[in-house]
Amino acid sequence: MAGHDIAWPHLELSGFDAGFSEEELAIQQGVHRFAAEVMRPIARELDRMAPEQAYEPGSPLWDFHRAFAKLGIGPETMAGMEPRALARMESLVISELGWGDVGLAVSAGAGEMPIRAALGSGDPELIQMCEGRIGCWAATQPDRGSDGLLLYGEERFPGAKGNVGNLVARFGADEIVIHGQSSAWVSNGYVAQVALLDIAADYGEGFHDDRGNAHGCNIVVPLDLPGISKGRPLAKLGKRALPQGEIFFDNVKVPRRWAVATRDDYAIKHAGAWAQAGTAMSHVATGLARAAFELALAYANERRQGGALLADLQLTQYRLGTMGAKVEAIKAMARHVAEYTKCSPRPHPYFTAAGKAFCNSEMFAVVNEALQLFGGVGLTQEYPIEKLLRDARAMQIEDGENNLLLMHFGFLMTRLNRLEGWGQP
Ligand SMILES: Cc1cc2nc3c(=O)[nH]c(=O)nc-3n(C[C@H](O)[C@H](O)[C@H](O)COP(=O)(O)OP(=O)(O)OC[C@H]3O[C@@H](n4cnc5c(N)ncnc54)[C@H](O)[C@@H]3O)c2cc1C
């Protein structure tokens, strides 16, 4: 076959894709433009600023949120789409946002958590409370990190009870009293105007059931109520465009009707919110992996060593081929998780967790290798790749630390095999 060149393959912005509808392509290109022209310049600027300035009124963060709201791609717009089409559309939109900047992409996504819960409840009061406001999802606390994500009592250390943490709700007949503090990690925590709380609850008989599980609840709360205050903005290694910080509640009273999940439906709604977040994190990782790969490709086509462009050296081609295959695998896994989560009659957040951990750890390998391909200059602020590596690092812990997520998936598979017979000959 030597010498019989065939035509180069068909590619979309997102790589080796085919069969997108005209609407899907138009939306993908629109979000890509937004990511390139709005997100990247703003994120670069915020990355270099001290957190005290980066998130203040008038900072570029607010320009991003105003421009994002105008895009019209929020959950209200996508409501009513058929599940498979919705999974596909979200994969295109969220991965382009991740390609733009993973910190701002999560600021936009976490910002939607309260309105998603409000729309799910169908309560006009809650929907109005969330519309046009920046939201957050407050689930972790200083003393309640990974263990807030446990879904089964038998995953706890023998003898341990469910962790109640530092932020709790006490339910009365008509009102709920919320007291304590969130972790400093709540995405948007420092700037959020409304929160979806995912916390332990006492319905009148203590925080635990007779098997030692902690009761939970989800409550939508506007953050301008008396008794609510914020901590300092978090200064961190990566994802510096994403404002994070603690939220304090001093015996804050809210009406019971603001609870969108209580004793009986909490577990399933907690699982649903977590699966939504994990799916989004997989798409965001897809975008970041591709962004790093594109930088490596461009650099290989401009840097000369040993008398040749890096791109013309076979070792470099092998390294780029390995990275490119991973980029496609991450994308495929993210879409698979998204489709299963939206279309399965009984999805499970431990599968979403496996997708988040896989996509994010493979993404980290791609970003790390991309930086390696730059040689020394990759470490400098003159080139954008060092920021991507710092951002990628944060994602190995965000939304569940990767090892822990895979541990949950492994637990699930052992139980499916032993108790449901799945995978037995
Ligand atoms: C960028 C970013 C954004 C975030 N956004 C949000 C948000 O929007 N809302 C929110 O509520 N939280 C958010 N978080 C918090 C995040 O969910 C937690 O950081 C994460 O779940 C890990 O909890 P932790 O930091 O308390 O670590 P820990 O749970 O203390 O874990 C520390 C180490 O111990 C290990 N470990 C823990 N439990 C076990 C176990 N049972 N067996 C073996 N090893 C174990 C872990 O693997 C880890 O390596 C965010 C975090 C980051 C980094």
* pLDDT of res. 148: 84
Our mutation pick for probing the ligand 1 site, out of 146, 151, 352, counting the most ligand atoms within 8 A of Cβ, is 146
Instruction: State whether residue 101 is helix, strand or coil.
Output: coil
Please provide the average confidence, as pLDDT, over all residues in the chain: 96
pLDDT band at 411 (very low <50, low <70, confident <90, very high): very high
- Report the alpha-carbon distance of residue 309 to residue 15 in Å, rounded: 23
Of all protein residues, the one whose alpha carbon is nearest to atom 20 of ligand 1 is 400
Q: Which residues pair with 176 in a beta bridge?
A: 171, 254
State the average pLDDT over residues 283-312: 98
What's the CA-to-centroid distance between 125 and ligand 1, angstroms?
Answer: 33
Domains and CATH numbers, the chain: 22-111 (no CATH), 134-264 (2.40.110.10), 268-420 (1.20.140.10)
What's the CA-to-centroid distance between 144 and ligand 1, angstroms?
Answer: 8
pLDDT band at 80 (very low <50, low <70, confident <90, very high): confident
Quick one: which of 153, 158, 172, 267 has its CA closest to 215? Answer: 267
Q: Does residue 37 carry a pLDDT above 80?
A: yes
Q: Which residues line ligand 1 (CB under 6 A)?
A: 110, 137-140, 145-146, 183, 185-187, 239, 394, 397-401, 403-404
- Report the alpha-carbon distance of residue 256 to residue 351 in Å, rounded: 33
pLDDT in tens, 214-263: 999 999 999 999 999 999 999 999 999 999 999 999 999 999 999 999 99
Q: Does residue 340 carry a pLDDT above 90?
A: yes
* pLDDT of res. 4: 75
* pLDDT of res. 134: 97
Of all protein residues, the one whose alpha carbon is nearest to atom 45 of ligand 1 is 404
* pLDDT of res. 64: 98
pLDDT band at 2 (very low <50, low <70, confident <90, very high): low
What's the CA-to-centroid distance between 400 and ligand 1, angstroms?
Answer: 5
What's the CA-to-centroid distance between 25 and ligand 1, angstroms?
Answer: 36
* pLDDT of res. 3: 65
